[in-house]
Structure 1
Amino acid sequence: MGKPAWLLVLMFMVAGCGVIGLDEPVVPAPGSPTRAEVTALLDQVRVIDARPRPGGYERGCKTGQACVFGPAWTDDSDAPGSHDGCDTRNNVLAMQLREVVHRGRCVVVEGTLTDPYTATDIPFTKSDAGRIQIDHVYPLAAAWDMGAATWTPDKRRRFANDLSVNLLATGATTNQSKGDDTPAEWLPPARPNHCFYAAKYLTVAVAYDLPITVADNAALHEIARGCP
């Protein structure tokens, strides 16, 4: 099934809508998902009372660590784009940055990111690679708590490397501030980006049958009311 038009546009543009709790209107950016599109996703997602805390989440893959989502940015998964000889991080950078310069076929060494969470331009160079990180829109730790703890290792590797729905390049500070928060706890700093984020988060949840909490549901419905 093809991607909806708004999702194709949002791969290259920063989208927007209103923000929770603020009275002044925000003009949605071109390419924003509509209220109807966000609401349709909300109608499909499961809602649970609160985030479970089953324990056992360990991302690290060093000796003695659980490595529950597989090695970071592995090319060895059944996620879209895998097994192309390039690691997932470089694939995401190549997709999202503009004016990209490669070393060899895979390694991105230069480019510019329009951060989908802050709407600011961030220059990227390989020598300062840590300035840009790759965010899991639906965080790995949250996914683990919400059901991924029962998935097969193959499905968890796919989820962690699925650049078709769940991965966005963003500034390191923004990514670290987000952590494993869900929409009731964190929204993009740029007010015009909330519709984009809501639709993106819900797209992941629906694709992987992951639930959202009652608090997330309320926050996302509030965002939807401000979408075009």
Structure 2
Amino acid sequence: MIKNLMRSATALCLALSPLTLPSTATAASTAPAAAQVLNLADAVDLVPVADESRTGYTRDKFKHWNTGLDPADGCNTRAEVLQAEAVESPAVAAGCKLSGGQWLSYYDSQKVNDPAKLDIDHMVPLAEAWDSGASAWDAKRREAYANDQDAATSLVAVTARSNRQKADQDPATWMPPHPDAQCRYIGEWTATKLRWGLAADQAEADALKVYAEACETTVVHYTPAA
């Protein structure tokens, strides 16, 4: 009898406490997205397939490079990525001028000792991102995409030559020239598409599936962007 009364009292208190559910819901909605780890084939299956359109695209709709992760250090996103990816750290002079150091451009397996000979490639190019979903974003989200240092796969330091050969192509028409780079590249391309909720057109989706079959041990890590 006493237990039944206690249950009734508890139920009444819950019914009369409207703040409980909203505060819980707010906490859930502001919680950071969970990191995802999938094999490549399963990750590729999660990329939605949709027609693409470049209508309205201009590169300046993606503000870059901005002041980077630490506005106080005087380095923009490009310089910060170069420092983060160096296999031998460069010297940093006033105005964030970099000199020396060494990098390995994984697209073509080239060692580079001059930061001026490197480009920072958007894993999924800005035009391709626009085509596959970013055209619907606001300017702030496009800037976040173009300067994304919160995922190691989003921006990559590579030789200017390989980056310019790639241009705005997807894996249906361009892949890194070094064979050992290709499974990694497909994994990072897929991770970036999933992180930002971008789609693939049919030719791209077909190419991803072909590479997924060949790269069966590749694992995709991504965290959905806020």
- Indicate the TM-score class for this superposition, using the shorter chain for normalisation: 0.7 to 0.9
Q: Which residue of 1 aligns with 2:66?
A: 74
Q: Is the 8 A contact 1:100 1:108 kept in 2?
A: no
Q: 2:175 is paired with a residue of what secondary structure?
A: coil
The residue type paired with residue 89 of structure 1 is R
Provide TM-score, normalisation by structure 2. 0.73
Cα distance in structure 2, aligned partners of 1:162 and 1:185: 25
Look up the equivalent residue of 2:65 and give its one-letter code.
W
Letter in 2 for 1:40: D
Query: Would you tell me which structure has more helix in proportion to its own residues?
Result: 2
Residue identity (%) = 30
- AA partner of residue 180 (structure 1): D
Deviations along 1:78-115, one digit per CA (max 9) or x if unpaired, are xxx35453210011101111111222484432211111
| Residue in structure 1 matched with residue 58 of structure 2 by the alignment | 58
In the alignment, what sits opposite 1:102?
91
State the TM-score, normalizing by the size of structure 1: 0.72
Correspondence 1:58-207 to 2 at 5 A = 58-59=58-59, 67-70=60-63, 72-75=64-67, 81=69, 83=71, 85=73, 86-104=75-93, 106-125=96-115, 129=116, 131-163=117-149, 164=151, 165-207=153-195
Instruction: From the superposition, tell whether residues 206 and 84 of structure 1 become closer, same or farther in structure 2 (CA, over 3 Å).
Output: farther
Contact 1:82 1:88 in 2 (8 A): no
How many residues end up aligned between the 2 structures? 179
Greater shift in the superposed pair: 162-171 or 105-114? 105-114
The unaligned stretches of length 5 or more in structure 2 are 1-33, 218-226
CA distance in 2, matches of 1:223, 1:58: 30
* Matching residue's letter, 1:74: N
1:61-92 Cα offsets, whole Å, 9 max, x none, are xxxxxx2111x21026xxxx354532100111
**Structure 1 stretches of 5 or more lacking a match?**
5-35, 60-66
- The equivalent of 1:10 in structure 2 is none
8 Å contact from structure 1 (residues 146, 211) kept in 2: yes
Cα distance per residue 1:4-46 (max 9 Å; x no partner): 5xxxxxxxxxxxxxxxxxxxxxxxxxxxxxxx61112112211
Q: Using the alignment, how far apart are the partners of 1:95 and 1:175 within structure 2?
A: 18
